[in-house]
Amino acid sequence: MKYLTAEWLKAAQDDLSVIAKIIDDQSLTQMVAFHAEQAIEKSFKAIFEEKGMQVPKVHDIVRLQKQIESIINFTSKEKDAILAINELYIDTRYPGELGLLPDGKPSVEDVREFYIFAVSVFKKIKNIVET
């Protein structure tokens, strides 16, 4: 594994570690969503790095996923999760009513699912770059 690939994965792991510390705090669910997106984004960028591709300077994980779909496949359900996390992340970067799911602020249950998905993406990508 290339040095910068490992650095991207370490940064993704750090985001997952933050989530583990705050996941039960209802007042921080938007931050869990933010860090879940960041972990996925950094995991995706590890693939770019490892494969010698230009690492895009974008935060849109839907766009990133499409650029690596020949390397890593996601089910329709997983693509839906990427879309949901991406939309919520973009909105959580700004104050106000943004950063909300259609029914309001994400619940602890919502963000637990985001966390589980982010961990699965991280592991899937770590497996790819380690082989």
**pLDDT tens by residue, 8-32:** 999 999 999 999 999 999 988 888 9
Exposed e or buried b per residue across 19-31, where buried means at least 16 C-beta atoms within 10 angstroms of its C-beta: beeebeeeebbbb
Q: How many CB atoms lie within 10 A of CB 62?
A: 12
pLDDT bracket for residue 94 (50, 70, 90): low
Sign of CA dihedral 73, 38, 20, 50: positive
Distance CA 5, CA 11 (A): 10
Mean pLDDT of the chain: 90
pTM: 0.90
pLDDT attached to residue 125: 97
pLDDT attached to residue 114: 94
Q: Which CATH number fits domain 3-130: 3.30.70.890, 3.40.190.10, 1.10.3720.10, 1.20.120.330?
A: 1.20.120.330
Region 68-97: mean pLDDT is 82
Exposed e or buried b per residue across 93-130, where buried means at least 16 C-beta atoms within 10 angstroms of its C-beta: eeeeeebebeeebbeeebbbebbebbbebbeebbebbe
Provide the 3-class DSSP secondary structure of residue 76.
Answer: helix
